[in-house]
Amino acid sequence: MSAVFVLNGPNLNLLGTRETAIYGTATLADIEAALRAQGERLQLLIDFRQSNHEGDLVDWVQEAGGKGAGIIINPGAYTHTSIALHDALKAVRPPKIEVHLSNIHARESFRRTSHVSAAVDGVIVGLGAEGYGLALDAMRRLIDKVRR
């Protein structure tokens, strides 16, 4: 069975330690554990990764394009800057969902633009760590739709 790739961008390794008023108290390890449990219920394998490097994220999107069932991505600040991630996501076939913990539309103006949103099937913002779980539920349905 192929896995849903859950890709996390720069600084998300710091979750739960600082900026908790914006990003919540859950650590990335907490989010990973919750997704793995949910994945078992949904019969989805989870391949959970984080990198502070743009090229790693591009490589992983390409890898998921070759062997993944779907992509859930929180690109962190690369959301607002990376045409490379946009191009990589556009180029791959599996269903793709962008997730942000915070409501990027209610913060600084530089966070309002996402280069990623136009390359994915759906976007979940502002619902904290729960957004990842909502994305996985939606991913189950998107994968089933693609297979039919």
CB 100 within 8 A of CB 125: yes
In the block, which residue shows the tokens 């720069």?
10
Amino acid letter for position 42? L
119/143 with CB nearer ligand CA2: 119
In the block, which residue shows the tokens 């008023």?
21
Question: Is 36 among the residues that bind ligand CA2 (CB under 6 A)?
Answer: no
Q: Segment contacting ligand CA2 (CB under 6 A): 36-44, 76-84, 88-96, 116-124?
A: 76-84
Answer for which of 2, 45, 52, 111 binds ligand CA2 (CB under 6 A) is: 111
CB 77 to ligand CA2: min, Å:
4
Distance CA 101, CA 86 (A): 19
Q: Segment contacting ligand CA2 (CB under 6 A): 7-15, 29-37, 52-60, 84-92?
A: 7-15
Give which of 122, 49, 126 is closest to 58, Cα–Cα.
49
Question: Is 117 among the residues that bind ligand CA2 (CB under 6 A)?
Answer: no
H helices present in the chain, as ranges: 20-23, 28-42, 54-67, 83-90, 130-147
Running DSSP on this structure, what letter comes out for residue 45?
Answer: E
Question: Is 115 among the residues that bind ligand CA2 (CB under 6 A)?
Answer: no
Question: Is 26 among the residues that bind ligand CA2 (CB under 6 A)?
Answer: no
Q: Segment contacting ligand CA2 (CB under 6 A): 36-44, 47-55, 71-79, 84-92?
A: 71-79
